[in-house]
Amino acid sequence: MSVLNPISEEKVTLKEVETEPSLLRKRLFLRSKPTIRKMTAEDIAWLWAAYKMGSFSQYNLPEMNESDFKKFVVMKVVPAFHEVDIIEDHNRAFSVKKGPVALVTTGFDGWRLEPHVDWFKWATPKNVLRGTVAYLQKSRWRKDVGVVVVRSLDETKNVFDHASKYGVTHRRGRIPHGDVRGDEYIFSMNGNKGRNK
């Protein structure tokens, strides 16, 4: 089925209309949208639970007890980044149906925002997609951000390729051996400040 575009009188297929990024985002967030908020002291308990389940294993952290872990988060993680946020979304792991599913640490130099997300072990693929799209959508509309840059490894690039269908990022290139763990893929999107340049 096709419809006439009233502005240009070109035929537009229904499939093209249904895959418009804004409509895809609307469908993704039809019932609810993930919450992105600053990390608070109460969230350290969730980080501890995620650590005990192996959520941060890629960092090769030493074995820590709860007290040492809290000190590590407060003294090493929080001061190392410009922002530390939590993504909350609906998940069956929570009795209240919504809770923390990811930790976002962000570098920011006044122009470039570079988020890094650590998904907790209980985050579902739907949490990952919804959280990624919501976070990037929110970031690109911030007035103080010129560009949002995401660096991804091979095992996570598909998430960002899929998120690009929602209009929140674009793949810019690949750096062979750009990371000690393998190739690095670069995704970016202009921020609100960058739209005026």
pTM of the entire predicted model:
0.86
> What is residue 14's three-state secondary structure?
helix
- pLDDT tens, position by position, 80-112: 999 999 999 999 888 888 999 999 999 999 999
Q: Residue 2's pLDDT is what?
A: 47
Distance of CA 38 to the CA centre of its chain: 14
Candidate CATH numbers 3.40.50.300, 3.40.630.30, 2.102.10.10, 3.40.50.11740; the one for domain 22-196: 3.40.630.30
Residue 61 has pLDDT above 50, yes or no: yes
Neighbour count for residue 102 (Cβ, 10 Å) = 23
Q: What is the DSSP letter of 75?
A: I
Neighbour count for residue 159 (Cβ, 10 Å) = 20
For the chain, the average pLDDT equals 89
Which residue's structure tokens are 């929080």? 78
